[in-house]
């Protein structure tokens, strides 16, 4: 690893890689990205790949409009196929409260230029004929939302960043961040020797990278990283499970999401049904194991929504960690305690879809800070200070 870096990014998920890539495009090429695991080992490689602009806040809608545009250009720009399928998102409501919330959010989305439309249950069934209308009172649909295959999305950013001079060090665990008088001086890293299953099997030598700027993009591990500099983040990890079935003939175009229970499912390009569901009772802490309880909960909700899937066989099950904040909104930008310690965490389960545009904005902020004291209202909205000041935000369209 390098002895000195202009910027050290902790976390080689899609958020950290997007930030590093966009920094390099702006001329800041002396960047090192560190990850204690392998590429796609965290949430970026363990999600359903959904990308959507259907949100309940204007900030999220505007961001995702740009992010979807970047996703559309990704294959041609990065020379890697991410299998983007824009079949839309079909959101289901099973209560009057949810119906009213969907009406309000869909109206806001249309004001922002989206093609979202409110649907009756029968109209929703025209989009997915196999849909059961049992309990459904309304739905919304935006045809421009879609799904990508997560892994090549991550690999594309990594390959492009490396070509521009970014150093990406996997199996490199951050053990400490040195600071003096509120200024960062360096990052201490210990190499983790890979095991036979991609997990750490031992420890190598320690190395220190001198730097003045650190980006905390470690997802559910971000609080641990922040604590090294005495910064307390309110984020909490929450296990979220997914499974994939045997391949079926193509029949499902949109991703279907139920806001009542957090159920979502879509069909991949190979024909598998890939989906998950929200679970309240899961072990606390960083846990990426799978459970039988998830399968039962998911199966009941899936078959209720689409009875045709009652006999489908599950082939694979896995889990990852949501990075949850108290107000379901991320923490982005600098902190008061330490100069040039930038946060990019707390994105719940939607950091993956926001990474293309958020990486660009955060990189522009970091690269321009010294010259222009770059200031973005978004970073005021999502700063860490809001939790102490009691200025919590809201976002109702969270899945899972």
Instruction: State residue 378's pLDDT score.
Output: 66
pTM of the model: 0.94
- The residue among 273, 306, 322 that closes a domain is 322
Q: Cβ–Cβ contacts within 10 Å for residue 112, how many?
A: 15
Please check whether residues 41 and 100 belong to one and the same domain: no
Rounded Cα distance between 294 and 282, Å, is 10
Q: What do you get for the CA distance between the two ends of the chain, in Å?
A: 38
Identify whether 163 is part of a domain: yes
Identify whether 367 is part of a domain: yes
The sign one gets for the Cα dihedral 285, 286, 292, 294 is positive
CA angle 55, 363, 28 (to 5 degrees): 160
Instruction: State how many domains the chain has.
Output: 2
Rounded Cα distance between 301 and 132, Å, is 11
Identify whether 58 is part of a domain: no
The residues facing 142 across adjacent strands are 89
Identify whether 53 is part of a domain: no
Number of helices and strands in the chain (H, E) = 10, 19
Q: Cβ–Cβ contacts within 10 Å for residue 370, how many?
A: 10
Instruction: State residue 369's pLDDT score.
Output: 60
For 69, phi and psi rounded to 5 degrees? -60, -40
Give the 3-state secondary structure of residue 384. Answer: coil
Please check whether residues 231 and 156 belong to one and the same domain: yes
Instruction: State residue 196's pLDDT score.
Output: 46
Q: What is the DSSP letter of 17?
A: H
Please check whether residues 212 and 258 belong to one and the same domain: no
Identify whether 128 is part of a domain: yes
Please check whether residues 244 and 315 belong to one and the same domain: yes
Identify whether 57 is part of a domain: no
Please check whether residues 242 and 176 belong to one and the same domain: no
Please check whether residues 192 and 331 belong to one and the same domain: yes
Per-residue pLDDT of the chain (400 residues; tens, 9 = 90+): 899 999 999 999 999 999 999 999 999 999 999 999 999 999 999 999 999 999 999 989 999 999 999 999 999 999 999 999 999 999 999 999 999 999 999 999 999 999 999 999 999 999 999 999 999 999 999 999 999 999 999 999 999 999 999 999 999 999 999 999 999 999 999 998 766 454 555 677 899 999 999 999 999 999 999 999 999 999 999 999 999 999 999 999 999 999 899 999 999 999 999 999 988 888 888 988 999 999 999 999 999 999 999 999 999 999 999 999 999 899 999 999 999 999 999 998 899 999 999 999 999 999 886 555 555 666 788 999 999 999 998 887 888 6
Please check whether residues 265 and 289 belong to one and the same domain: yes
Identify whether 100 is part of a domain: yes
State the CATH number of the domain containing residue 90: 3.30.9.10
Please check whether residues 261 and 369 belong to one and the same domain: no
- The residue among 283, 299, 322 that closes a domain is 322
Alpha-helix residue ranges (DSSP H) falling in 79-149: 96-111, 121-127
Q: Of 265, 267, 239, 240, give the one whose Cα is nearest residue 253.
A: 267
263 in Cβ contact with 277 (< 8 Å): yes
Please check whether residues 346 and 378 belong to one and the same domain: yes
State the CATH number of the domain containing residue 192: 3.50.50.60
Please check whether residues 289 and 169 belong to one and the same domain: no
Identify whether 282 is part of a domain: yes
Q: Of 320, 317, 38, give the one whose Cα is nearest residue 170.
A: 38
Please check whether residues 243 and 135 belong to one and the same domain: yes
Measured in residues, the chain has a length of: 400
Instruction: State residue 375's pLDDT score.
Output: 54
Please check whether residues 333 and 265 belong to one and the same domain: no
Rounded Cα distance between 223 and 242, Å, is 24
Say which residues have a Cβ less than 8 Å from residue 221's Cβ, sequence separation at least 6: 11, 42, 237, 286
Instruction: State residue 284's pLDDT score.
Output: 86
Instruction: State residue 398's pLDDT score.
Output: 81
Q: Write out the E strands in 63-199.
A: 89-93, 117-119, 138-142, 146-147, 167-169, 172-180, 183-194
Q: Which domain holds residue 106?
A: 85-145+236-322
- The residue among 294, 322, 350 that closes a domain is 322
């Amino acid at each position: 690893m390098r002895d000195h870096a202009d910027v050290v990014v902790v976390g080689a998920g899609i958020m950290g890689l997007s930030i590093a890539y966009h920094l390099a495009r702006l001329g800041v090429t002396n960047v090192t990205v560190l990850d204690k695991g392998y590429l796609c080992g965290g949430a970026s490689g363990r999600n359903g790949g959904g990308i959507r602009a259907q949100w309940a806040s204007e900030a999220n809608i505007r961001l995702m409009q740009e992010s979807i545009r970047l996703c559309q250009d990704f294959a041609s720009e990065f020379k890697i196929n991410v299998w983007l399928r824009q079949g839309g998102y079909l959101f289901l409501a099973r209560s009057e409260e949810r119906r009213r919330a969907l009406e309000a959010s869909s109206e806001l989305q249309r004001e922002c230029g989206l093609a979202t439309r409110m649907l009756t249950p029968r109209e929703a069934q025209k989009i997915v004929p196999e849909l059961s209308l049992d309990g459904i009172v309304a739905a919304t649909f935006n045809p421009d939302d879609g799904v990508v295959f997560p892994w090549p999305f991550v690999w594309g950013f990594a390959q492009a960043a490396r070509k521009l001079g970014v150093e990406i060090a996997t199996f490199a665990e951050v053990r400490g961040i040195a600071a003096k008088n509120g200024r960062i001086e360096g990052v201490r890293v210990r190499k983790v020797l890979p095991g036979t299953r991609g997990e750490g099997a031992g420890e190598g030598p320690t190395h220190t990278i001198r730097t003045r700027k650190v980006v905390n993009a470690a997802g559910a591990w971000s609080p641990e990283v922040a604590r090294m500099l005495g910064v307390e983040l309110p984020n909490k990890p929450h296990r979220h499970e997914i499974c994939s079935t045997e391949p079926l003939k193509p029949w499902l175009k949109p991703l279907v999401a139920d806001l009542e229970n957090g159920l979502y499912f879509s069909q991949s390009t190979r024909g598998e049904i890939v989906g998950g569901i929200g679970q309240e009772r899961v072990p606390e802490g960083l846990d990426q194991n799978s459970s039988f309880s998830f399968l039962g909960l998911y199966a009941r909700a899936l078959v209720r929504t689409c009875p045709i899937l009652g006999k489908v066989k599950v082939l694979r099950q896995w889990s990852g960690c949501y990075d949850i904040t108290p107000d379901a909104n991320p923490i982005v930008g600098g902190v008061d305690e330490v100069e040039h310690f930038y946060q990019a965490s707390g994105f719940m389960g939607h950091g993956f879809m926001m990474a293309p545009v958020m990486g660009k904005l955060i990189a522009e902020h970091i690269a321009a800070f010294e010259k222009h004291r770059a200031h973005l209202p978004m970073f005021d909205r999502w700063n860490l200070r809001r939790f102490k000041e009691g200025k919590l935000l809201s976002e109702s369209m969270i899945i899972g």
